[in-house]
Each structure stands twice: as structure tokens, then as C-alpha cells.
Amino acid sequence: MSDNSLRLVWVYPDLLSTYGDQGNALVVERRARQRGLDVQRVDVRSDQPIPTSGDIYLIGGGEDRPQRLAAERLLRDGGLERAVSNGAIVFSVCAGYQILGKEFVNDQGQRQEGLGLLDVVTVRGEGERCVGDVLGDIDPRLGLPQLTGFENHQGVTHLGPTAKAFARVSMGRGNGTGDGTEGAYNDTVFGTYMHGPVMARNPHIADLLLKLALDVNALPAIDDRWYEALRAERIAAATQPA
């Protein structure tokens, strides 16, 4: 990318865009424009090839059958893996997170190959579905404030040795493994179960992606009053007694 331009790719909105996850693309795009960046947003449907020249790729959640179709098409296409090898940043949510792992259980109850961009494996949980508000502490190495979001998944995601937990939950189930982990990441690829959309609740995550794409340590300050009000409202609502 050039110093003042950004190519943002929203992957398969026709298959993977539940719980308002497309809002993540809107937040990243807006926060980039507020910093004077020229943003080119590309929405890539599942019948189109994945461009390999993007800077940031966003993938949302989806139901079980669309998830399987998305995984099959992404594997055949190969563009997302090539983009990552070129240095692109990827942020995924729920079904998208599972797809980026090594494997998950599909709608037919079979083990489905993932893209292997994250060292995680997802199995189907035997207990209650993970549903509800989540609060957690993001890995301090990322320098981000408290995580807030909403989870709704049956999958249980186990982290391999090269995956780092994106966060540790103080409320909610996260990866569903019982160890308090939520999501996973490596240097340029991130996954989480957080809907919300997560970027609206946690705009600093969007800023992290921008800094990684721009290869800078800081961004110009912008007016965050709206986002902070939303964050405070959702955190307060999650912590109030039932």
C-alpha cells in the first residue's frame, strides 16, 4: 500500500455476515478515512476470486452450511493464503474464525479442512451453546483496552502451540474450552467469536489493524466519544445483575 491509501476487502458477504458483522468493515473504513487515508473497499462475493493485493481482509460469521461452502470456495481459490503470504492483515469472526483454523466440524457432522492460517482446531461442543455478552482482557502485548462483545456459537476451539489467545474472558465462554481463552492470533491473522459488531464496541481493534497495515506505531487521534459511550453502555449492561 502507499502512505495514504488502503485496500479493504470484505470476504463473502453473501455467505458470512451474521449479527451485523459487516459493521466491522464500516468501522475500519470510517476510522481510516478520519485519518485522511484513501480507502478502496472491495466486497467479494463467493462466486468471485479473492484479490491478493488487499491490505486488510475481514470475514464475518455465518450459519453452518454457508460456512462449509465458504471454506470449500476459499480453499479452491487460494487467494486469501497468497494475500497473507504477501503481508496482508486478516480479521475473522465466529464461523470465519473457524475457517481460518486447521479444521472444524461442518453442517454434515464431518471434519472440514480449514485454511490453516491459524493454529486452531474446532470441534462441536457437547454442552450448552455459548450465548451472551462477553467481557475479557485482550492479550497485553497488543496494547488494547477491555474487550466487549456478544457470542453465539456451539463450536469449541482448541489452540495449538503457535496460536496465541486473543483475550482471556472474565465473563462469557470465549473459545468454549474452559480455560478462559477467547479467539486466537498470530502476527497478521486474528480470530474471535465476538459479534456486536466487535469493531463498533472495540474501535481500538480497528486501529490495531490499521497500524499493522500501515506499519506504524501510532495513529492520529480522532473523536471517540460515540464509541466510548457505546462501550460504556454495553459493559454496564453486561455487568448489571440479572
Residue list, annotated binding site for substrate: 129
Q: In this structure, which long-range contacts are made by residues 106-112, counting pairs with CB atoms below 8 Å and at least 24 apart in sequence?
A: 106/64, 106/67, 106/68, 106/71, 107/63, 107/64, 107/65, 107/67, 107/68, 108/68, 112/68, 112/71
Q: Which of 130, 153, 158, 195 is catalytic?
A: 195
Could you confirm whether 153 is annotated as catalytic? no
Place of cell 495514504: 4
Could you confirm whether 94 is annotated as catalytic? yes
Q: Which of 94, 130, 153, 158 is catalytic?
A: 94
Q: Which residues are part of a known binding site?
A: 129
User: 151 near 195, Cβ under 8 Å?
Assistant: yes
Q: Which residues are catalytic?
A: 94, 195
